[in-house]
Amino acid sequence: MTEFHIRHYHPEADLSALSQLLTEIESVDRDGEETSEEFLRSMLEWENFDPDKNVWIAELSGRFVGYGQILPKSDHHCSMYVVVHPSQRRKGLGDQLLALILSRARETESKYSLVYVNGKNAASVAFMKRHGFEVAGTSGVMVAPLGDLPQAEIPVGYSIRRYPELGDPQIVVQALNDCYKDMVGHHQNVTSADRYMDYYGNEGIHLLFDPVGRLAGVCAGKPQGKTDESGREASDLLDAPGLTKENRDRGFQRFLTLTVMNWLRGQGAHPVTLEYWGDDEKALGIYRSLGFEMVNQQLTYHKELE
């Protein structure tokens, strides 16, 4: 059996080599993962991204060949991530990394785990099944090319207001909690919207209110917020709409998406990349009707932890 050296991650010394490892893996798997050094640095700001406790590097003869991480959440959930270089697969390294992650999950008192896997990656799907994970939903990336946009037809009595009109970050916290509730891949107990607002920018956050003034939905856009694999060509980024449960099955995703797309168009003409987590097939059909095509879909696996 191959003897791998597994240790915790030291960003100041390991970041460049980790970027190279992940880039080599992505060149084979084509999972749509970010692998740049810039992205890896941004991960250091993630909640509970603790290199000394929650992140591992696997080495063989001085080369990085595997990586694993766990991100514990405050609600006893956690997300997990394991990758192994194609040259070292089927040698038990993935099992070793997952065992460390599961052990750490018990230490953090996590009760429920999520793992995101490219549905076309047969090896990853088999790995999940072998370790007792089951599919809980999907997430993915869709892209709409530059083209004519119809205006959004908002239902009578409803209104959409951008965040700068309101200026209260708690309304964004409420939106993230109420409008994505029980959707796989979203935090379920958000206490701060700082990261969300910093990422999308205040100008791009759109909030939907019903006829009696209750919050009903949220959707955010970021002009030129997504770059291609070369890092050169940019598209606008759109976070898939979130709606409160009573409004979720009414097709409101259409006018929310169009509202933000038209706002983005006002900042400049670019294709639009839509990222979604946990949307059902009906919502995906709405996005397709607006010209979006699926470019990457992931299966969300879950497992209850002992």
Q: Which of 142, 69, 75 is nearest to 110 (CA)?
A: 75
Enumerate the β-bridge partners of residue 235.
226
Instruction: Classify domain 146-290 by CATH number.
Output: 3.40.630.30
Which residue's structure tokens are 């699926």? 294
Distance CA 36, CA 150 (A): 36
**CA count, 13 A, side-chain hemisphere, 144:** 26
Helix or strand run (H / E) with residue 84:
strand 77-84
User: How buried is residue 99: exposed, middle or buried, by Cβ count under 10 Å (0-12/13-18/19+)?
Assistant: middle
pLDDT of residue 306: 73
Phi, psi values for residue 132, rounded to 5°: 80, 15
Instruction: Classify domain 5-133 by CATH number.
Output: 3.40.630.30
Mind listing the pLDDT tens digit of every residue in the chain (306 residues)? 689 999 999 999 999 999 999 999 999 988 878 899 999 999 999 989 999 999 999 999 999 999 999 999 877 889 999 999 999 999 999 999 999 999 999 999 999 898 988 888 888 999 999 999 998 888 889 999 999 999 999 999 999 999 999 999 999 999 999 999 988 777 767 889 998 999 999 999 999 999 999 999 999 999 998 876 555 678 999 999 999 999 999 999 999 999 999 999 999 999 999 999 989 899 999 999 999 999 888 888 989 987
Distance CA 117, CA 284 (A): 18
Distance CA 253, CA 218 (A): 10
- Tokens representing 137 are 């939903």
pLDDT of residue 228: 67
pLDDT of residue 231: 57
**Which residue spans of the chain are classified as CATH 3.40.630.30?**
5-133, 146-290
pLDDT of residue 184: 79
Distance CA 87, CA 192 (A): 42
pLDDT of residue 188: 67
What's the gap between Cα 173 and its chain centre? 18
Distance CA 64, CA 249 (A): 46
Phi, psi values for residue 269, rounded to 5°: -90, 110
Distance CA 198, CA 169 (A): 11
